[in-house]
Homo-oligomer: A and B are copies of this chain.
Amino acid sequence: MKTKNELLKVEEQLCFALYSTSRLLIQNYKPLLKVLDLTYLQYLVLLVLWENDRVSIKTICEKLLLDSGTLSPLLKKLGSKGLIVKVRSPEDERSVLVALTSKGKAFESKSQQIPQQMFCQLGLKSKEVEKLKNQLRLLLNNLVSEPN
C-alpha cells in the first residue's frame, strides 16, 4: 500500500509518464517531419486525409480528439502551404469539407518510411508496442466514455 505522500510524487504518476513520453516521442518525429516542413499536428491531419479524402472539419476534430479552436488555424496553415483546399459542403452549408491538393497527395508517398523509422527508435519489440497501444486505447476509452 502506498502512502499519500508517495502518491504525490511526480515519478509515481501515470499522467506524468504519459505526458512526458508523449512529448518526447513527438520530438523524435521532428527530424523526420522537418524534411517535409511539417509539424506533428500537421502530419496527423494529413494522416486523416490520406485515409479519407474530402472529410468535414468536424470529422477531423472527432478523429484527432481536437476542437475547432486548435484545428481552424492549423487548416488555414495547411491551406497556405498548398496541401489542402476547403470547400463548403453543398448539402449542409455549415459544414466545410477538406480535400487534399495534388501536392498534399504526393506527400503521402514521401511519408511511407516514417512509421518504420519511428518504430526503430522506440527500442521496443513489436509485441510490446502492440500491448502498449492496446492498454492506451483501453484507458482512452474509459476516459472518453466517462463524461463525469
Contact = CB atoms under 8 A, between A and B. Distances in A.
* Copies of the protein in its oligomer: 2
The prevalent SS among residues of A at the interface is: helix
A118 B118 CA distance: 31
Contacts of A48: 10
Contacts of A63: 10
Contacts of A26: 15, 19
A143 B17 contact: no
A42 to B, nearest CB: 13
A123 interface: yes
Interface of A: 4, 7-10, 12-26, 28-29, 31, 40, 44, 47-48, 50-51, 63-65, 108, 111-112, 114-116, 118, 121-124, 128-129, 131-133, 135-140, 142-144, 146, 148
